[in-house]
Amino acid sequence: MTILFMMPVTTFDPYVLDVLMPDLVGHEHAPSAFLVYVYLWHRIEANGGRAVQLSYAMIGLETGLSRITAQRAIALLLRRQLISATSVSRTAVPSYLVLRPWAERKRARENS
C-alpha cells in the first residue's frame, strides 16, 4: 500500500529572493525580518490569501525566534511597509497581511 501526502507549496515572487532578501539581511542586518516576512507570506497563502491573526509569541515559536526578536522583525516590516497589521484594540492580537509594494510600482509603470 502506498500513501501519498500532499503538502501545500508556497510560491514566492522572484523579487523576494533576488532583492528583498539581500536588502533585509545584508543592508538592514535583519535576517529575522526576512524570516518573519517569508513565514507570514506562507501562512497567508495557506489561509487563502486572507489575513492571519498571530501573536509575537506564536510567530517566535513557529519561526524559532524569541518573542522580542519576532516583535522587532514585525516593527521593521511595518516601518518598511512590507506588511500591514490591524487590531480591534490596542491589546488585541493583530491580523497581518503581506504587502508587495514592488508589484504595485510595476503595475503603475505598466499602466502609465
pLDDT tens, residue by residue, 26-63 = 999 999 999 999 999 999 999 999 999 999 999 999 99
Supply the mean pLDDT for the chain.
90
Residues in CB range of 75: below 8 A, 6 or more apart: none
Q: Measured between alpha carbons, how far is 68 from 48 in angstroms, rounded to an integer? A: 28
Q: What is the value of pTM for the model shown?
A: 0.86
Neighbour-count burial of 63, counting CB atoms closer than 10 A to its CB (0-12 exposed, 13-18 middle, 19+ buried): middle
Please choose, from the candidates 18, 63, 16, the residue with its C-alpha nearest in 3D space to the C-alpha of residue 36: 63
Does 2 score more than 80 pLDDT? no
DSSP structure class, residue 96: E
CA distances from 64 to 17, 57, 60, 68, 88 (A): 20, 10, 6, 12, 27
Enter the C-alpha cell of residue 7. 503538502
Predicted pLDDT of residue 1? 74
Residue 81: pLDDT band with limits 50, 70, 90: very high
Predicted pLDDT of residue 62? 97
- Higher-pLDDT residue of 5, 103: 103
**Residue pair 67/54 in contact by the 8 Å Cβ criterion:** no
